[in-house]
Amino acid sequence: AVVFTNINLEKAIEFDEYCHNHQPPIAFIKSEVRGLFGSIFCDFGPEFTVLDVDDKEPHTGIIASISNDNPALVSFVDDERLEFQDGDLVVFSEIKGMTELNDGKPRRIKNARPFSFVLEEDTTKFGEYDKGGIATQVKQPKNLNFKPLKVALRDPGYFLLSDFAKSFRPPLLHLAFQALDKFISKTGRLPTAGSDEDSRRLVDMVTAMNEELSGDAKLGEIDANVLQHFACGARAVLNPMAAIFGGIAGQEVVKACSGKFHPIYQFFYFDSLESLPAEPLDSGDLMPINSRYDPQISVFGSKLQKKLEEAKVFVVGAGALGCEFLKNLSLMGVSCDSQGKLVITDDDVIEKSNLSRQFLFRDWNIGQAKSTVAAAAAVLINPSLSIEALQNRASPDTENVFDDPFWEGLDVVINALDNVTARLYIDSRCLYFQKPLLESGTLGTKCNTQMVIPHLTENYGASRDPPEKQAPMCTVHSFPHNIDHCLTWARSEFEGLLEKTPTEVNSFLSKPNEYKAAIRSAGDVQARETLERVIECLGTEYCETFQDCVAWARLKFEDYFSNRVKQLTFTFPEDAATSTGFPFWSAPKRFPRPLVFSVEDVAHRHFIMAASILRAEAFGINVPDWAKRPDSNEFVASIKRVTVSEFHPKRDVKIVTDEKATTLTTASTDDAAVIDGLILKLDERATELPSGFRMNPIQFEKDDDTNYHIDLISGLANMRARNYGIPEVEKLKAKFIAGRIIPAIATTTAMATGFVCLELYKVLAGGHKLDDYRNTFANLALPLFVMAEPVGPKVIKHRDLSWTVWDRWIIRENLTLKELLQWFQARGLTAYSISCGQSLLYNSIFPRHRERMDRKVVDLAMEISKLEVPPSRRHFDIVVACEDEEENDIDVPLVSIYFR
């Protein structure tokens, strides 16, 4: 693939023609940014095959029944809704009874519903469906025929839209970019910012070109205002626009080289005229001042540039998004004046896996604080940047650092976070202090941005995605039916065996009396289980030599993948039925089979290797070199030396099948007595341990491929998958799922931060209306760009009052409780409940609370809720529940009482 960013049309057509006709064709990508306008064109040749048109795994469904009909109806278990669509091709596997469908042949479906679809096949002569089966979508390649640039300019076809409010804009910009090329070829220069003559000349060129068109291609109206702005900013390459189109072009290169994801077909035009200041710009304000920001000044004017430089900005997070934001902000000149300041905070340190997308970091920065390294790199980009790097997590625990004066002094907050909890906290702070919040997030090729503007938009927490569906505990531990369940179980076992239990052991050995007191105080089933694991670790599973570690690993294999399965299938045989007579082992449950250990099986040996090495690490035992070679004679011999006892299933073993259960062990009335007995055993065992013995808890680390962590987790998951007939997983995918890695790529991150920085111009300029702002959702894989104005906040009205979530009622008097209730009554509201923090100061249903009427509210708060107001704060906050005259509940704003 080749990418051109600064080339005239004549040369572009010449190069594109060569690339288009070359064998094999060379993907040609042309991108151009002019002020607040940008374009990209793609030509991947006369025939290009897209191997994967989107960014999704093939859809699957667990079959419940298949009819012997023409066409056949396929129904699925109601575990989760299907995502199949009419016309999809699917293949079937693991079907019992109607085995004719297990031939791997793709079959087309129709009438797709949430839990069924119709199969376009006659199954009347097939065997009768018995049970089981999985339907898997077959993703079909797509062939695209690209036009060369010379042809596409005359016949552009469909333009990829980004903003449906501007559906008329792409055809106009298609002409504008061609007219600009003509302007340059005739004058030898670009239009001058603020030059009315140059603007008129460009408008005339576009008008003349439009007159030469016919039919639907001819525009009914030419928007001269848009073209004037286009001409005015033609000399400027703005950093946010470069970030957006750099990200888009970068992803198109990946598509051209891999065939993965759908390319842009073929033109995409974008503009952000809404980013211009709300007030008309004076041409004199656009003149260059001999600074590095002259291109930006030619678009926005020197007044807004000064506001950018004096801005006080808080960037939360210095990861992938944070690095991109720092690069953008430093190039834009944000906080690059002595009056401005940029504060960035992140409590994380740099890891190896960060380097692929967090481009401000290098190999030698691994282990260093992200915020400090990122800030130093940003200063190299712009030495004028006034920046302070902190290593604090922005949370309730650090409100002494990020205190009231800090928040009150900010102009804008930019989130660069990767978790919802942190986002919600920052959102609450911005709500409270009424500060603009620019929010964004990425997931693979997808990104979204949300503008949270005081009194104009809803806040981030006003609308949230539903939580991800979690598999029931009993499914993960006893009835898995996909590899995700196996990996979740494997991660849990890893942490229990190598981190949690060794930590408990050390807690006991360090402070035995306090530990035993805490266990006795808890006295529940969880405490009993914890104690049993500690005793087991220090007793029957205690390791002194590496051979002990091999034996431990071998016996764990037998326990996990043979004995437990034998017990499960003994308790619930293959023909077991539920209390209603329905087969117990019906979909989605899969009947398991125990594994028979074989030293000849490579996967079995690798499991023993990883488990024994990590067990040795936990006990501080040296690992011999031969242990890291699972094919070595010494290693094989060490496994063969292990004696494995024969297992006999027990009767009356209770196995949890309730999907709502939160624990796998049932409580008993004598837990406390059992705990006392276990503590005696633990004390006895402790006297036999070497003096000063401690274990080494192992915290899961996904980024070190040499530490055997992923080896053990993938081994655990894959052996369990074999038990249940589930397809096994590769080590890399195991790392992705078990490591809970959020896919992040540089192209999407660059684009997302570019969109946010276009909104930053609006926030710092001030005076923009709601319909000037844009929230964005984009998916580079499809490709899809959706921009829309934000949703306004919900307005609550009562009498002649109205308020939103952004409002806070301020009372500048040190009121008594009685006076506070009267304050609400004067507004037609009855306050029936008042709380401060987690404590209830007043509730009308409690007669004793009436005794508090003559006391100051601040005194009640200090006494009951243990309120501590720092010297820098003059007020405290209360939450009041009210009802109107008709006894309807009314949500009132937070109330701040200024008592000092």
Asked whether the beta carbons of 537 and 530 are under 8 A apart, the reply is no
CA–CA separation, 715 and 613 (whole Å): 13
Asked whether the beta carbons of 717 and 487 are under 8 A apart, the reply is yes
Residue 19 CB contacts under 8 Å (≥ 6 apart), including other chains: 2, 25, 26, 27, 28, 43, 45
CA–CA separation, 711 and 609 (whole Å): 9
| Pairing assessment for the beta strands 341-345 and 387-390 based on DSSP bridges | parallel
CA–CA separation, 484 and 468 (whole Å): 13
Give me the helices (H) in 725-786, please.
Answer: 731-738, 746-765
Q: Which two tokens stand for residue 140?
A: 């079909």
Is the torsion defined by CA of 561, 567, 573, 577 positive or negative? negative
Cis peptide before 24 (omega within 30 of 0): yes
Q: How many CB atoms lie within 10 A of CB 218?
A: 11
CA–CA separation, 783 and 162 (whole Å): 10
Residue 97 CB contacts under 8 Å (≥ 6 apart), including other chains: 127, 128, 129, 130, 131
Q: Which two tokens stand for residue 64?
A: 């419940």
- Count Cα neighbours of 900 within 13 Å in the Cβ-side half-sphere: 8
How far does the chain reach from its first CA to its final CA, in angstroms? 68
CA–CA separation, 717 and 707 (whole Å): 17
User: What is the b/e burial string over 291-313, where b = at least 16 CB atoms within 10 angstroms of the residue's CB?
Assistant: eebbbbbbbbbbebbbbbbbbbb
Strand partners, 52: 260
User: What is the CA 618 to chain-centroid distance, rounded?
Assistant: 33
Phi first, then psi, for residue 436 (nearest 5°) are: -65, 140
CA–CA separation, 42 and 38 (whole Å): 14
Is the torsion defined by CA of 451, 455, 457, 458 positive or negative? positive
CA–CA separation, 858 and 853 (whole Å): 12
| Pairing assessment for the beta strands 412-415 and 437-443 based on DSSP bridges | parallel
| Pairing assessment for the beta strands 446-452 and 775-779 based on DSSP bridges | antiparallel
Catalytic residue IDs = 474
Give me the helices (H) in 1-148, please.
Answer: 9-21
Give the containing element (helix H, strand E) for 549: helix 546-558
Cis peptide before 266 (omega within 30 of 0): yes
Q: Which two tokens stand for residue 340?
A: 């401005």
Asked whether the beta carbons of 219 and 751 are under 8 A apart, the reply is no
Q: What 3-state DSSP class applies to 495?
A: helix
Asked whether the beta carbons of 742 and 418 are under 8 A apart, the reply is yes
Q: Which two tokens stand for residue 155?
A: 């016949």
DSSP H helix total and E strand total for the chain? 27, 28
**One-character DSSP codes across 604-669:** HHHHHHHHHHHHHHHHTPPPPGGGG-TTSHHHHHHHHT---PPP---TT------TT-S-SS---T
CA–CA separation, 250 and 749 (whole Å): 11
CA Rg, the chain, in Å?
A: 33
